[in-house]
């Protein structure tokens, strides 16, 4: 999310917590705002300050923020630092108390929306915008105490209705004016929502370059800190928290390194076990040379299963020898014996393995067991 649309929590130990709503109202801003409010409630706060510099944005996201603001159960004091335009003015009016910097502007107008599609789609969008306008009218009416007809005529009249702090105070839209840091403002005729917004965004960007840890969105749970053995809590100073985080990072890096080394050693140990068992089995003539590589690959991570397999085996006799012996006894035909003598790989390459399987399932089964260790 770009910096201009990020909601940032500022925790000042001796004052009320503040949420900066600096930027365009969108889904990310809405989510960030809801997270901030939930965090403040979790910490046990009953009151907070909301500072605004926003030219508005998505109506649906603004409605979600307004709902969170009104239903959270905490007292909200609103300070308009730069501009509160369009949907941002609705959020400003949700505050228990509303103050404006003497350099700030408040702007109200009809909601705007676009749509494409069928005639039915366009009508549905128009109905939606009408509904938002009705909701905005209700918010403005509740704040000012004026009937809806006057609200529509003064604030939702098809124009961008700007108010300076003095004008807003005279119109009883706000509860007071405060002195912000003095800054150059253009003539009234040159003012618009974008211009005022950018003036205060630039000012805020300069402040951010000097910001300390108290301005960083940092959630440090005291219980979690205790569990991790950091020795710090939410009330610790910035330097202590930064030091604890660096120490945790160093510990995590060291753990990852040691864990990787142990994993490598375990794998090497398992591989050595498998090799030792297969070497012994080959020596005892329980497996053939060809089986050695096959079984090594099959059981490279499972020495226990390999051990069971080898224990169940007797002394290895090549398939060719077995079949030749069986041929002498009249069990297999000469054709089968000749095919077996070619070996597994040759039969697979020539396609004769299928013929062998048809001619003598028993010979095929013996070759398969010799090759893969399974029947």
Give yes or no for residue 201 having a pLDDT over 70: no
- Domain architecture of the chain: domains with CATH: 3-109+160-219 (3.90.226.10), 319-372 (no CATH)
Residue with tokens 């040159």: 190
DSSP-based three-state secondary structure for 76: strand
Contact 102, 180 (CB under 8 A): yes
Average pLDDT over residues 107-130: 81
Structure tokens at 295: 């079984």
DSSP state of 85: E
Residues carrying an active site annotation: 86, 109
Stated pTM of the model: 0.50
How far apart, in whole angstroms, are the C-alpha atoms of residue 229 and residue 272? 39
Give yes or no for residue 71 having a pLDDT over 70: yes
Contact 340, 364 (CB under 8 A): no
Contact 336, 360 (CB under 8 A): yes
DSSP-based three-state secondary structure for 304: helix
For residue 105, give the H/E element and its range. Answer: strand 105-108
Average pLDDT over residues 182-194: 51
Nearest Cα to 42, choosing from 72, 63, 87?
72
Rg (CA), the chain: 39
Average pLDDT over residues 149-162: 89
How far apart, in whole angstroms, are the C-alpha atoms of residue 76 and residue 72? 10
Predicted local confidence at residue 181, as pLDDT: 54
Quote the percentage of the chain above a pLDDT of 70.
70
**Cβ atoms within 10 Å, residue 52:** 27
Report the range of poorest mean pLDDT among 151-155, 181-185, 194-198, 354-358: 181-185
Average pLDDT over residues 86-101: 93
């Amino acid at each position: 999310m770009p910096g201009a649309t990020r909601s940032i929590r500022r925790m000042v130990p001796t004052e009320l917590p503040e949420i900066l709503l600096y930027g365009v109202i969108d889904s990310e801003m809405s989510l960030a705002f809801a997270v901030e409010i939930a965090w403040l409630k979790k910490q046990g706060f009953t009151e907070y300050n909301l500072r605004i510099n926003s030219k508005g944005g998505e109506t649906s996201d603004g409605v979600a923020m307004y709902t969170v603001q009104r239903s959270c159960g905490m007292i909200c004091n609103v300070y308009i630092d730069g501009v509160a335009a369009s949907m941002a003015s609705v959020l400003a009016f949700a505050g228990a108390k509303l103050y404006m910097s003497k350099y700030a502007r408040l702007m109200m107008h009809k909601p705007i929306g676009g749509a494409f599609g069928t005639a039915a789609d366009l009508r549905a969008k128009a109905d939606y915008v009408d509904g938002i306008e009705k909701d905005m009218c209700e918010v403005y009416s509740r704040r000012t105490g004026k009937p809806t007809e006057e609200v529509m005529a003064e604030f939702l009249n098809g124009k961008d209705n700007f108010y300076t702090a003095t004008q807003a105070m005279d119109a009883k839209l706000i509860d007071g004016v405060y002195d912000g840091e003095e800054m150059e403002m253009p003539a009234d005729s040159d003012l618009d929502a974008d211009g005022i917004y950018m003036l205060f965004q630039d000012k805020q960007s300069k402040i951010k370059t000097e910001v300390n840890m108290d301005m960083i969105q940092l959630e440090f749970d005291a219980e979690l800190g205790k569990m991790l053995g950091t020795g710090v809590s939410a009330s610790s100073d910035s330097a202590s928290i930064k030091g604890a985080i660096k120490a945790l990072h160093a510990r995590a890096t060291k753990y990852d390194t040691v864990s990787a080394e142990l994993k490598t050693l375990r794998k090497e140990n398992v591989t050595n076990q498998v090799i030792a068992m297969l070497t012994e089995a080959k020596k005892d003539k329980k497996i053939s040379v060809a089986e050695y590589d096959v079984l090594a690959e099959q059981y490279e991570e499972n020495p226990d299963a390999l051990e069971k397999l080898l224990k169940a085996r007797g002394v290895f006799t090549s398939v060719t020898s077995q079949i030749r012996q069986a041929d002498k006894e009249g069990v297999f035909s000469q054709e089968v014996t000749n095919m077996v003598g070619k070996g597994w790989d040759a039969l697979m390459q020539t396609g004769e393995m299928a013929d062998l399987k048809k001619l003598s399932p028993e010979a095929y089964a013996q070759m398969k067991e010799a090759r893969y260790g399974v029947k």
